[in-house]
Structure 1
């Protein structure tokens, strides 16, 4: 069922791929005996997950996913009334809510990294966050870059009124970044290999769809507010199709926050790793992020 109700209370949110492995290593060390950590080592093909190459998205994404679940599972406080996730965090939220088994989610995240690596190797791409510009300013920078460089560049994330993520060809993204900086924006190139949430991953949709549909989907134990379309799911009915589209559709984080608020979520906990979503939340507004 879509647009199901959410009880009033505290929700939990999971970030996309993070760029600081410090909190990840701390969580993995604290819970080294956990079965999911052992499975993580098998998925990455190493006996020492702390030595895995964090610059490789195929490594960083499984590490982020596993650390996010460990953080949420061992967080004190009452059970959250809803789960939500930004980009990669959508998969973490679905696993936390019980819509898929954590081990299956881990394997899926590894497959996601492989898909991104294949796309990035064949056609160098970039994910670029533009901060401090409104939608019109970002669109001007994007279109002038396309006019001067050609290629492909599209919005892959609506993080808030003053933060937008662009995804596309690396050279076009650099031109857009320069245009945005000339308008006073702050720009950050994200350390992610793969033009996620853009049509550049369209050719890889059959492989992704097959991986998603091979999972054993279950009704989530708590509602999941999706960042794909900012709607709430309470059963498994359209989750495979939702997560298939997730690969190429933009992240609608500001709308997701608004949907959570509308459905009764009074506050959110950033499960981490890190505090990325808490920082984003300050620029978006309620529901506020709070400690457990």
Structure 2
């Protein structure tokens, strides 16, 4: 197969928790002697990735973070000339670590806190995230409002992935009902196995703990410009990063806007650091930038 090899480096994008578990295991086990993997395994009290309960958000999120960093370091190194980096949901923290704005080990501590606050919130008030695909914004809004009216619960948009794909998050009964109603209107519906109402106002219950953890971080000016999926703005200094990540917990992921901002910042394509290719899959439904396959990257 002949591929067109691009000479300019792509931007690097990091996914959230909905990644390929098998790909995570392969990366972690292949690099178990790396300090970041040793720290991860020690915290989880395991010796290999297969022992990890990946469905437990408290474990799945730190694993996704570490595997994403290892993937990009293996491909480009830690000092690559990357035009921009960005992340979807928890990938925002991975992007900040890759950019140099956040020490990777500090970022790992933050990821463990992130999993814990999500777990805590879900125990207080069970929640779900539901992805609705293939129907318009007005139909999503209609299903959401009907579900809220019938259940009396909270349900809000928590992610805008692109044309025809919106994520709702809130009380479990409301999310389930909205999914059922959307399915009746022709939507493809996927419930995400993530504990915690991330990017939803239900997380205000655990916001003080999250804010405290974020404010303990030592942020530096990023070596690589970072586009935030919170507000689709480019960050080139450490100013305001603590406040950005505090708001991150409650505000929706504006992924399609962030990708468009990465293009405006000079990226001509993006590479999904993974594990897996969930971001590349999302881009097939409409994206301001194409996602390159690994074999399309220039081999140095």
Q: TM-score band, normalised by the shorter chain?
A: over 0.9
Of 133, 149, 152 in structure 1, the residue corresponding to residue 151 of structure 2 is 149
Q: Indicate the SS of the match to 2:284.
A: helix
1:282 equivalenced with 2:284 (yes/no): yes
Report deviation, 1:76.
Answer: 4.3
- Name the TM-score, length of structure 2 as normaliser: 0.92
Match of 1:251 in 2: 253
Provide the rounded CA distance (Å) in 2 between the counterparts of 1:264 and 1:47: 42
Q: Indicate the SS of the match to 2:196.
A: coil
Report deviation, 1:122.
Answer: 1.3
1:18 equivalenced with 2:22 (yes/no): no
Report deviation, 1:252.
Answer: 0.1
Report deviation, 1:19.
Answer: 4.5
- Contact preservation (8 Å) 2:18, 2:192: no
Match of 1:73 in 2: 73
- Contact preservation (8 Å) 1:267, 1:286: no
Superposition pairs of residues 24-173 of structure 1, within 5 angstroms: 24-76=24-76, 79-173=81-175
- Name the TM-score, length of structure 1 as normaliser: 0.95
Q: How many residues align?
A: 285
Report deviation, 1:20.
Answer: 2.6
Deviations 1:80-116 (A, max 9, x none): 1111000000000000001111011011001000000
- Contact preservation (8 Å) 2:14, 2:94: yes
Provide the rounded CA distance (Å) in 2 between the counterparts of 1:43 and 1:280: 32
Superposition pairs of residues 199-210 of structure 1, within 5 angstroms: 199-210=201-212
Give the direction of change, closer, same or farther, for the CA distance of 1:71–1:9 in structure 2 (3 Å limit): closer
User: Please, which runs of 5 or more residues in structure 2 have no aligned partner?
Assistant: 1-7
Provide the rounded CA distance (Å) in 2 between the counterparts of 1:82 and 1:264: 8
Match of 1:5 in 2: none
- Contact preservation (8 Å) 2:15, 2:279: yes
User: RMSD across aligned C-alpha pairs, in angstroms?
Assistant: 1.3
Provide the rounded CA distance (Å) in 2 between the counterparts of 1:179 and 1:55: 26
Deviations 1:224-248 (A, max 9, x none): 0000000000000010000000000
Provide the rounded CA distance (Å) in 2 between the counterparts of 1:20 and 1:11: 21
Provide the rounded CA distance (Å) in 2 between the counterparts of 1:241 and 1:93: 16
Superposition pairs of residues 186-201 of structure 1, within 5 angstroms: 186-201=188-203
Report deviation, 1:46.
Answer: 2.7
Provide the rounded CA distance (Å) in 1 between the counterparts of 2:276 and 2:217: 28
Provide the rounded CA distance (Å) in 2 between the counterparts of 1:82 and 1:260: 7
